[in-house]
Amino acid sequence: MANISAQLVKELREMTGAKMMDCKKALVETEGDLDKAVEFLREKGLADAAKKSGRVAAEGVVKTYIAADKKTGAVLEFNCETDFVALNEEFAGFADKLAKMVAETSVTTVEELLNEKFEGDSTTSESLKALIAKLGENMTVRRFTKFSVEKGIVNSYIHGGGRIGVLVEVACEKDSEVLDEVAKEVCMQIAAANPLFLSKDDVDTESMEKEKEIYRVQALNEGKPENIVEKMVVGRIQKYFKEVCLLEQLWVKDGDKSINKFLEEKSKEVGSPITVTRFVRYERGEGIEVEKVDFAEEVARQMGK
C-alpha cells in the first residue's frame, strides 16, 4: 500500500473539493497517483450526481450577462434544491459562467449548452455533475434566452438577489446614453409589473376571447341588459390591455404616463424613435411543482414507527 501523506490528501481536496476521507480513500485505491485519484473521485461524483438527479430543484438563481458593447445579452435560470446552496459562491459563480456562455456562443438549447466545453476538456454537463457531487444537491440548467441587436442596446435587471431576472432589447437608429436609461427603466417596470405581452397586437386570440367571455359573464351576472354588455366588455378589455401589455401599462415611477408615453418623450430627447422590440422575464422556480412533505411523518417513517 502506498504511503499517503496528509499533504497529498490536502492537495487532492483542494483540486476536487471532495471530503477529506473520500480523498484519502481515492489515493489509497489509486496508490497515490493524483491524476487517477481525481478520475476516481469524478467517477464517484458522477454516480452520486445520478442518484440526486430525480430530486426537485426549484430553488436557485436567475443570472444575466451583458456584453461590453451592450449589443448582446443573456438571461439564464440555474436551479438547485435549497436556498442554502443557492447562496453558495461556487454555485453562483457557475451560474455566472453559464450566462456568459449563452451570450458568447451559438447555443440555442439547454442540451447544446450542456455539451459545450466549459473548462479545459470538460463539457458543461461533466462540470455540472462534478459540482453536484461536491455540493450534494441536484442542479439543473432550466432555461435561457439570448438577445442580439445591431442598432440599439440590450440590457438587464436582477431583482431580489436572483429571484427575478429581466432581459430587454431596445432599438433605435441613433446611439445615445439615453438608451441605457430607457432600457434600465423598462427592465424595472417588467420586474415589478410582470407584463404578459409587449403590446396589444401581441395578445393572442385565445387569451383575448377567454377574457372577453369572462367579462361578458361578469356583466350578465351583475344584471346588466344584453344591449350594453358588449360595450362593457370592450371597456374592460381596454383595462386588461393596461394590465398585461408592457407598452400600455402605467409607468411604476410615474402613474400619470404609460410606458408608451415614456418612450415617446425619450424618443424626442434622442431625436429618433426608441422602441422596445422584445423582453423576457424569468422568476426563479415559477411553474415547478414542489412536493409538500410532512416532516414529522417523514422522520417517523425513517425511524420505522
CATH at 47: 1.10.8.10
Mean pLDDT of 57-85: 93
* Amino acid occupying residue 84: F
> Residue 135: which CATH number?
3.30.479.20
Final residue belonging to a domain, choices 81, 116, 148:
148
- Per cent of the chain over pLDDT 90 is 58
Res 179 pLDDT > 50: yes
Q: Tell me the C-alpha to C-alpha distance, in Å, between residue 255 and each of 189, 251, 258, 259, 261.
A: 12, 6, 7, 10, 11
Q: Are 171 and 151 in contact (CB under 8 A)?
A: yes
Tell which wins on pLDDT, 279 or 298.
Answer: 279
Is residue 9 within 8 A of residue 24, CB to CB? The reply is: yes
pLDDT of residue 57: 65
Mean pLDDT of the chain: 87
**129 and 69 together in one domain:** yes
> How many separate domains does the chain show?
3
- Among candidate residues 95, 25, 236, 130, the one with its CA nearest the CA of residue 4: 25
Give a yes or no: residue 139 inside a domain: yes
Least confident of 50-59, 74-83, 267-276: 50-59
- Are 88 and 77 in contact, with CB atoms under 8 Å apart? no
Q: For residue 181, is it within any domain?
A: no
Q: Do the Cβ atoms of 57 and 80 come closer than 8 Å?
A: yes
- Structural domain of 41: 6-53
- Spatial contact of 37 and 2, defined as CB atoms under 8 Å apart: no
- Among 240, 257, 258, smallest CA distance to 249 is for 258
Pair 76, 106: CB distance under 8 Å: no
pLDDT band, residue 297 (cuts 50/70/90): low
pLDDT above 50 (res 46): no
* Torsion of the alpha carbons at 49, 289, 95 and 89, rounded to the nearest 10: -80
Kindly calculate the radius of gyration of the chain based on its CA atoms and give it in whole angstroms: 26
* CA 224 remoteness from chain centre: 45
Flag whether pLDDT at 109 surpasses 70. Answer: yes
Between CA 61 and CA 283 the distance in angstroms is 9
Q: Does residue 303 lie in a domain region?
A: no
* Domain stop point among 190, 214, 240: 240
pLDDT at 38 over 80: no
- Cα–chain-centroid distance for residue 70? 19
The pLDDT value recorded for residue 303 is 47
Share of the chain above pLDDT 70, in %: 87
